[in-house]
Amino acid sequence: MTTKTIQIPEDVVKDIQKKNADVTVCMQTLDDLVNAHYTDEDTTFFDSPVIAKLRDKASEAQIAFDNAKNALVEKYIPDEDRKSAREWDLSYGSGILTYAVKE
């Protein structure tokens, strides 16, 4: 395996980081609400419009994050490397995309 790195533009990194944060916030909020009402005898809260809307937002956020990650790979990892790239990581702090390719 060979490790390669690519510098990703700051605006692209920030966009992906924001999409990741959106997913995290939605999932954490859902988790907090479920934990707060876990012992409720009346379970109708779990079928409430609030929970449904939050689940929808979480799904939309996850799709946006996944699409952004796929676009990143398509745009910045060269075709010849993309076929054999097994793992990749984007450092939000440095903007460095690191990936490993099979030799």
pLDDT in tens, 34-61: 999 988 898 888 899 999 999 999 999 9
Highest mean pLDDT among 79-83, 88-92, 98-102: 88-92
Written as six digits, the tokens of 7 are 């510098």
pTM across the whole model? 0.87
Contact 97, 76 (CB under 8 A): yes
Range of the domain at 18: 2-101
Helix, strand, or coil here: 3?
Answer: strand
Dihedral sign, CA of 12, 16, 17, 19? positive
Identify the DSSP state of 5: E
* Under 8 Å between Cβ of 102 and 81: no
Please, which pLDDT band fits residue 87 given cuts at 50, 70 and 90?
A: confident
pLDDT for 77 beyond 90: yes
Into how many domains does the chain fold?
A: 1
What is the gyration radius of the CA atoms in the chain, in angstroms?
18
The DSSP secondary-structure symbol of 93 reads T
Structure confidence at residue 46 (pLDDT): 87
φ, ψ for residue 53, nearest 5 deg: -65, -40
